[in-house]
């Protein structure tokens, strides 16, 4: 059925107004006069009420006529994360595939906006406040980089699926604190161009990016941070890291001046990752030996380059392990204060994979750049992670023979968990697709709840040694409530475990999400 045009809606409103006025106008023949009308020319209470009701009806129809067909109306309130009090004058941001929509809040922190249906990262901005979220789980953790300076971290904001009109999509802000100071070396000399960052308790990041800055020509920096305990970090090409000033506590609204960060020269090791023919290999992990034959990632291979920095002295062993390759041979370095190795080569040998395959979705289409996690089911095996290439193909190297668990998670595409024998080649890993969760929250009509979840299941209860969870970071969604009901689409089809919270209500849940079906969850019952 074709949707009515705005012209048609407007015409209906005009016609209704005309009929309504004819019915209630003074002296109309079919309107029974009230005693007040008989007594004099002034309007009766009933007549004034009728006119008021008609006026309200006209406004309602005008609002409908003004709506853009195909958009959804979203409204809610911005409140203080700690107190729950409204924050007047805030601005709300909805960031989606089509771009960014912003809307100001009124004096009670309320807002209303029309947007295209879809998934959005939503957060708020206001003077004296910051929007915060837990730092993203990093596959290859590394130090802060210059690319992060004042860069908004919208990917950390809560994800909300907005496919219908929603009331009560509420957002929180935290009281901001300002930290200013100077970056210097151990001799007290100013260091310009240092990348300075602060993370809140629980590894909280500021979504606006104000928690990362660069020191100026006199070593000065400024950060806008959440209050509480802050862990400081600094990076510079000529220095290894912080020797002092790494921790600070900030009161809500505090403006702290003169916090000095002291960087030491330490030991810096830089170089290139190349194959057996000397060709550069661009991406993957740079690893540090921690004990025996155990290594841990300490950074990424970026355009073929690697870097390691340590403020202390001693011996370190490093290697590179690019995606889709075996690891390089290890190299040992003896470090002391002021050492700087500048052009090291980490050579990756040629080798055949012990396990290879490809990742596809539930329709059989290849999934590019999916992360594949592997866990040995027998003593002496290996634990590794790999990344598929643009065609969905993956390969693992240097695996002892035996059974292994392989798991994959791709947002919006689903999960997979398989038990495979090594050696094997050409193994297909098919994702399980997604489903929908519908439900209700007892005692709550409107608002928005926070939902966190992950997949957790066993393929075979007899395999007590295996992991029971997909290797996926805990996911967080902002779920609007409409008359106590909710719907969440595109959840991975798997046994889902997590929690929901709204105000003082906090409840854990476990529910089976089925592929392309609806599953039910009742909260508070």
Q: Residue 463 pLDDT more than 90?
A: no
Residue 297 or residue 311, greater confidence: 297
Residue 99 has pLDDT above 60, yes or no: yes
Q: Please state the rounded mean pLDDT for residues 167-176.
A: 91
Q: What is the pLDDT of residue 382?
A: 85
Mean pLDDT estimate for the chain: 85
Q: Is the peptide bond before 423 cis (omega within 30 degrees of 0)?
A: yes
**pLDDT at position 18:** 36
In this prediction, residue 477 carries a pLDDT of 87
The residue to which tokens 């290797």 are assigned = 471
Q: Which contiguous run of DSSP H or E holds residue 12?
A: helix 6-24
pLDDT, tens digit, for every residue of 120-134? 999 999 999 999 998
Q: Which two tokens stand for residue 456?
A: 């957790």
In order of 135, 300, 388, 440, 524, the CA distances from 501 in angstroms are 20, 36, 36, 13, 10
> Is pLDDT above 80 for 414?
yes
Name the pLDDT band for 468 (thresholds 50, 70, 90). Answer: low
Residue 17 has pLDDT above 70, yes or no: no
Residue 427 has pLDDT above 50, yes or no: yes
Task: For residue 431, give both structure tokens.
Answer: 């994702």
Q: What mean pLDDT comes out for the span 179-183? A: 98
* Confidence band for 80, pLDDT divided at 50, 70 and 90: very high
pLDDT tens string 185-196? 999 999 999 999
Which band of pLDDT confidence, cut at 50, 70 and 90, is reported for residue 285?
very high
Q: Is the pLDDT of residue 371 over 50?
A: yes
Quick one: average pLDDT of 259-264? Answer: 97
Q: Distance between CA 297 and CA 160 in Å, rounded? A: 32
Judge whether residue 59 has pLDDT over 50.
no
End-to-end distance of the chain based on CA atoms, in angstroms?
A: 40
Picking from 173, 186, 200, the residue whose alpha carbon sits closest to that of residue 261 is 186
Q: Catalogue all structural domains in the chain, each as residue range(s) with its CATH number.
A: 6-66 (no CATH), 76-265 (2.60.40.10), 267-348 (2.60.40.1120), 355-430 (2.60.40.1120), 434-523 (2.60.40)
According to the model, what pLDDT value does residue 469 have? 57
pTM (2 d.p.): 0.78
- The highest-confidence range among 2-16, 395-409, 444-458, by mean pLDDT, is 395-409
Token readout for 522 is: 């009742």
- For the segment 32-54, what is each residue's pLDDT rounded down to a tens digit? 333 333 333 344 443 443 444 44
Residues making up the chain, counted from first to last = 525
Amino acid 85: pLDDT = 94
Joined tokens for residue 290: 């921690």
**For the residues 71-78, what does the mean pLDDT come to?**
92
CB 234 within 8 A of CB 196: yes
Give pLDDT, residue 11. 39
Neighbours of 489 (CB within 10 A): 14
Q: CB–CB of 318/333 below 8 Å?
A: yes
């Amino acid at each position: 059925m074709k949707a009515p045009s705005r012209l048609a809606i407007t015409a209906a409103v005009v016609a209704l107004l005309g009929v309504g006025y004819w019915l209630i106008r003074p002296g109309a023949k079919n309107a029974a006069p009230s005693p007040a009308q008989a007594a004099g020319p002034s309007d009766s209470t009933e007549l004034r009420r009728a006119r008021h009701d008609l006026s309200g009806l006209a406004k309602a129809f005008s609002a409908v006529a003004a709506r853009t067909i195909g958009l959804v109306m979203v409204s809610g309130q911005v409140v203080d994360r700690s107190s729950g009090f409204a924050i007047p004058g805030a601005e709300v941001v909805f960031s989606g595939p089509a771009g960014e929509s912003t809307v100001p809040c009124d004096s009670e922190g309320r807002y209303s906006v029309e947007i295209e249906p879809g998934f959005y990262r939503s957060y708020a901005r206001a003077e004296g406040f910051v929007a915060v979220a837990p730092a993203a789980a990093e596959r290859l953790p590394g130090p802060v980089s210059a690319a992060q300076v004042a860069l908004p971290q919208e990917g950390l904001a809560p994800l909300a699926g907005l496919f219908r009109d929603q009331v009560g999509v509420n957002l929180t802000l935290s009281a901001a604190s300002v930290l200013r100071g100077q970056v210097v070396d151990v001799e007290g000399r100013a260091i310009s161009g240092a990348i300075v960052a602060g993370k809140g308790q629980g590894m909280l990041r500021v979504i606006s990016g104000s928690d990362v800055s660069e020191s100026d020509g006199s070593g000065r920096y400024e950060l806008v941070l959440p209050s509480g305990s802050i862990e400081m970090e600094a990076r510079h090409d000529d220095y290894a890291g912080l020797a002092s000033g790494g921790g600070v506590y900030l009161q809500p609204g505090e403006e702290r001046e003169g916090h000095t960060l002291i960087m030491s020269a330490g030991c810096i090791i830089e170089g290139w990752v190349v194959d057996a023919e000397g060709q550069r290999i661009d991406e993957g992990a740079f690893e540090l030996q921690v004990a025996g034959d155990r290594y841990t990632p300490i950074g990424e291979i970026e355009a073929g380059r690697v870097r390691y920095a340590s403020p202390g002295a001693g011996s370190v062993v490093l290697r590179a392990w690019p995606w889709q390759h075996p690891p390089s041979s290890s190299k040992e370095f003896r470090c002391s204060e002021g050492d700087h190795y500048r052009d090291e080569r980490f050579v990756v040998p040629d080798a055949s994979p012990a396990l290879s395959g490809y990742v596809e979705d539930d329709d059989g289409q290849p999934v590019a750049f999916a992360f594949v996690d592997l866990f040995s089911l027998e003593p002496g095996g290996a634990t590794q992670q790999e990344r598929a290439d643009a065609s969905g193909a993956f390969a693992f190297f240097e695996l002892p023979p035996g059974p292994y668990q392989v798991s994959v998670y791709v947002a919006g595409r689903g999960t997979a968990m398989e038990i495979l024998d090594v050696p094997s080649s050409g193994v297909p890993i098919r994702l399980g697709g997604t489903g929908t969760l519908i439900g209700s929250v007892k005692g709550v009509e409107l608002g928005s709840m926070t939902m966190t979840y992950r997949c957790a299941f066993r393929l075979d209860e007899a395999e007590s040694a295996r992991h029971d969870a997909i290797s996926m970071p805990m996911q967080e969604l902002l779920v609007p409530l409409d008359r106590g009901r909710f719907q969440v689409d595109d959840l991975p089809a798997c046994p889902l475990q997590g929690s929901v919270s709204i105000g003082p209500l906090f409840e854990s849940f476990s529910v089976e999400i089925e592929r392309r079906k609806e599953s039910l969850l009742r909260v508070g019952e």
